A = this chain, B = another copy of it.
Amino acid sequence: MAQAPPADKRRLILDAAIRVFARQGFHATRVSDIADDAGVAYGLVYHYFRSKDEVLNELFVERWSLLLVAIEEADRTGAGPREKLGAVAGFIFDSYRHDPELMKVIIVEVTRAANSFGQTHLEEIRRAYEGIAKIVADGQARGALRADVEPMFASMAFYGAVEQLLSGWIFETIPASETDFDQARDLLVTTICDGLEPR
């Protein structure tokens, strides 16, 4: 190795930002909070990032691009729409299981804050909706899904349900401890595909 990684300060700052944003929310965190939590001088944040916004930006883009890939990959498998949707929901729920603080920040501060901050990312967010809509449209073309529902409509309903469940866990409206995430994924897919009424 060329040189021992000198405790990558940039990463240190990003990780600290996740913790602090998750704890206090973006607006309530001062840049000094991030620097303190990272054990780094105030000014260094501005050495690596142009602004406080850019820190959040980076966190969002890093993670969201993975989601877009996951959706794309799910679609590429030749499986049925039920399996594809399960894969998408599974990826999102796993992201939460793996790093709840990061997901909290992304959902609360970007995705659902579509007015203030998310405005910048509407395009990327929309791309996710469209990816899901593509899965639905494909399922309809194959006759596996009913054709009388607009794909984008179904996509929004599906993604909305996913995000709402996430929010429920994040804000403890719904108990996260006892709920098994895989079970939640299956239940959600069942609900959306089979419906609430008995078959």
Could you tell me which A residues sit within 8 Å of B by CB distance?
A: 25, 27-28, 81-82, 108-109, 112-116, 122, 125-126, 129, 136, 139, 143-146, 149-150, 152-154, 156-165, 167-168, 170-171, 173-174, 184, 187-188, 190-199
Given A164-B163, A193-B195, A193-B197, is A25 in contact with B116 using a C-beta cutoff of 8 Å? yes
Given A145-B197, A164-B163, is A191 in contact with B116 using a C-beta cutoff of 8 Å? no
Q: Which of A149, A170, A184 has the most CB of B within 10 A?
A: A149
The answer on a CB contact under 8 Å between B199 and A149 is no
Q: Which residues of B contact A192 (CB under 8 A)?
A: 157, 191, 195-196
Q: Which residues of B contact A115 (CB under 8 A)?
A: 25, 108-109
Chain A contact surface mostly: helix
CB proximity of A172 to chain B, nearest CB, Å? 9
Q: Residue of B at shortest CB range from A194?
A: B195
Q: Which of B114, B144, B154, B198 contacts A145 (CB 8 A)?
A: B198
Give A39 to B163 CA distance when docked, in angstroms.
Answer: 40
The answer on a CB contact under 8 Å between A193 and B196 is yes
The answer on a CB contact under 8 Å between A165 and B157 is yes
Q: Residue of B at shortest CB range from A165?
A: B156
Q: Which of B149, B153, B173 contacts A129 (CB 8 A)?
A: B173
Give A146 to B187 CA distance when docked, in angstroms.
Answer: 12
Give A93 to B36 CA distance when docked, in angstroms.
Answer: 45
Q: Nearest 3 CB-CB pairs, A to B? A: A160-B164, A195-B195, A112-B112
Q: Which of B139, B156, B193, B194 contacts A174 (CB 8 A)?
A: B156
The answer on a CB contact under 8 Å between B114 and A191 is no
Given A196-B149, A197-B144, is A113 in contact with B114 using a C-beta cutoff of 8 Å? no
